[in-house]
Chain A
Amino acid sequence: MKKYCLLTAFTVLGLISCNNEGTAINNVASMKTPQMENFDKAFKSLGEPQNRPNEEERKRNTSELSDRRKALLVPASKELILSTGITEAEITRKTSGDMSQIIVWATQIYMQKSDEIRKNIKTEN
């Protein structure tokens, strides 16, 4: 009796997983890792009213993002770099804590991962 119960349970599980495979949405957005999503959100947050460039930042004669606004991107950038298995110590050694280097490094990882996701979708379809 126990055997049958288990067998039924596994069969049901198997059916559910097969069903889910068919309904999975095949787009890049749905396959992004949580760290990639947070990285996205950080860049988007630059447009929130409190994060917009202030008077002083707009008067500067450079296109370089201000340190105040770079700091908004650093936590999500670090999180994304760490998610690839790179350690905090390696980040410090490679970037000496420079915010720009951390963000650009994370951007490269982000784009590489997006490309991989896109390629996987292509081969699956």
Chain B
Amino acid sequence: MWITLIYKFINMKKLIVSTLVLCGALSFAQSTPLMIHNYSKLSLEGRLMACSRINPGGYPVAFAAPNLPYGVYTVPPLTTDVEYVTLNTSAASLLPILKWYVTTAGGTTAYNYNDPSMAGISSSVEWAMYHFVTKDDQGNGVDTFTMGNPIVSNMAGFSTNLYQLGTTAEAEWFSISGMVYLQVYDY
């Protein structure tokens, strides 16, 4: 009798532990890497955003601060392999993002990428939008692209496209098993 009770107890413990592990995995599953491949001869200049897929208002909504030396978040021409594994590791990328502007119901705060708050923010958001203008080597704007996952970006009030054809370039936003890609090509 005691043996069966102990046995049951151990089994229950196993169940609780595995449930907790699963919960942990699910809560972190939302934060997935973003990979940007700009195959075009144009520079991409605009706003990179991540937000929540489930919270009203998309809160927290995080916008990338300009990567140096640019005035807005910029991906230079012919620049590929730009990866952001998470928001709170964004400084390790080929195009480092050092700061995020995070909006919640309480207002907007600027956080350094390694601020302790960023880990929690990072795990509750998904890559949602890159709204950019393509510019030629003279700095002239060519097209405006609002790329992103509409299901996610709509939570923060932004409508985006998975595929867009401009006058000299085409862009697409897609995912492969959670990993998010933004690719821009000349055509």
Interface of A toward B, CB cutoff 8 Å: 28, 40, 43-44, 46-47, 49, 52-53, 58, 63-65, 70, 73, 100-101, 103-104, 107, 110-111, 114
Contacts of A100 in B (CB 8 A): 176-177
Contact with B37, one of A44, A49, A53, A103 (Cβ below 8 angstroms) = A44
How many pairs of residues, A versus B, come closer than 8 Å at their CB atoms? Answer: 53
Q: Are B174 and A40 in contact (CB under 8 A)?
A: no
B35 sits at the interface (CB 8 A): yes
B residues 25-83 in Cβ contact with A at 8 Å? 35, 37, 39, 80-81, 83
State whether the Cβ of B86 lies closer than 8 Å to any Cβ in chain A.
Answer: no
Shortest CB-to-CB span from B118 to chain A, Å, is 21
| B binding-site residues for A, Cβ under 8 Å | 35, 37, 39, 80-81, 83, 149, 151, 162-163, 170, 172-181, 183, 185, 187
B187 neighbours in A (Cβ, 8 Å): 47, 49
Partner pick for B179 among A28, A44, A49, A104, CB 8 A cutoff: A104
Count chain B CB atoms within 10 A of each CB in A63, A101, A104 and give the residue with the most: A63
Majority-rule SS of A interface residues:
helix
For B40, the closest partner residue in chain A by CB is: A47
Q: Please, which residue of chain A has its CB at the minimum distance from the CB of B160?
A: A63
Structural contact, A44 and B177, CB atoms closer than 8 A:
no
Q: Quick one: closest A residue to B149, CB to CB?
A: A63
Q: Complex: how many Å from CA A101 to CA B177?
A: 7
Closest residue of chain B to A28, judged by CB? B81
What are 8 of the A-B contact pairs (CB < 8 Å)?
A43-B37, A58-B163, A63-B162, A63-B173, A64-B177, A65-B181, A100-B176, A114-B81
Q: How far is the CA of A58 from the CA of B179 in the complex (A)?
A: 19
